[in-house]
Structure 1
Amino acid sequence: MGRKIGLSDLGSVRPIFGMGDERDNPLLEPAPVEPTREQVILRRRLTLAAAAVMILVTGLVVTYATVGFAGDLVGDALYAVLIFLIVSFIFVRMNSWRVAVIAILICTGIELFQLTGLPVEIAAVFPPARFVLGTAFDPVDLVAYIIGVLVAAGVTTWRRLD
């Protein structure tokens, strides 16, 4: 398709409007398309799932590669971040600080459940359960959970500007 060339008012040669050089017309620029609510939720859930997988892998590496107090503290904080991400995935539109409260309550409940001795019995029957339920109560774990969840909530609030 050829272009028609015309003489402008100023005497310069340029294409006549509508004949192939529409980029000069701001009315013909495509309007930005806003994603739908479902697309935003799907994108957020995919991001949360990817982050959860990375935290899970990192937590397993920390658990098996480190020993001592620092390793336990970091591992417990990562466990709490994973719980935070799972709750965020389920309640995708909930405010990050509300998710943080729920995650801290879940982590605290699991830690207090260890006082009953049932997690040890469950882990004896199904060993992977010890990663979810733990085996021994330690009040320092509660501090690590709070730190992990607060850091996760702070990062998600900063990134999403809740």
Structure 2
Amino acid sequence: MPRPITALAAVLTVAAGLGVRLLWDGPVPKYAGDALYTVLIYALVLLALPRTRPWAAALASAGLSWAIEFAQLGEIPAVLRPLLGSTFNPPDLLWYTVGAGAAWALHTAARARPPGQ
């Protein structure tokens, strides 16, 4: 996937996360944010390694999200808590997987379309 499109996807993912927080309260923005966090990591993986296959990007983004979540079982430095969180929450693991799966599906669909369509 071309880097400008991937960069745009990353920006739109951040905008979607902020929009969800502005529009809803409660569990909707929390779990949508978890999924979108993983989608952003997916896009960042593709920016760093543009030839990454969708399954590998999904595995890397879900794996990194899970690793960060499990790291919360220990002590996260205060300066990193806004980015990495501070409290382990098992349902987050599901939503990271949902985000990676959604990014994989969109990426796979985009790769399957012939150029110009």
Question: Is the pair's TM-score, using the shorter chain for normalization, greater than 0.5?
Answer: yes
Counterpart for residue 49 of structure 1: 7
Cα displacement string for residues 43-73 of structure 1 (whole angstroms, at most 9, x for unaligned residues): x111111110111122123234422112211
Cα displacement string for residues 73-114 of structure 1 (whole angstroms, at most 9, x for unaligned residues): 111111110011101111101111111111111000100111
Amino acid at match of 1:76: D
In terms of fraction of residues, the more helix-rich structure is 2
CA distance in 2, matches of 1:73, 1:86: 20
* Equivalent residues, number: 113
Where do 5+ consecutive residues of structure 1 fail to align? 1-40
Name the SS for the 2:109 alignment partner: helix
TM, length-normalised to structure 2: 0.88
Amino acid at match of 1:147: V
The alignment status of 1:146 with 2:97, answered yes or no, reads: yes
69, 73, 86: which is aligned to 1:115? 73
Which structure would you say has the larger Rg?
1
33, 37, 55: which is aligned to 1:79? 37
Structure 1 residues 64 and 137: CA distance shift in structure 2, 3 A: farther
Relative contact order, CA 8 A, sep 6+: which one is greater?
A: 2
Runs of 4 or more above 3 Å deviation: none
Name the SS for the 1:115 alignment partner: coil
CA distance in 1, matches of 2:83, 2:100: 16
1, 16, 25: which is aligned to 1:67? 25
CA distance in 1, matches of 2:81, 2:18: 13
TM, length-normalised to structure 1: 0.65
Q: Calculate percent identity across the aligned residue pairs.
A: 34
Structure 1 residues 152 and 110: CA distance shift in structure 2, 3 A: same
Task: Map residues 1-162 of structure 1 onto 2, 5 A cutoff.
Answer: 44-118=2-76, 122-123=77-78, 126=79, 129-161=80-112
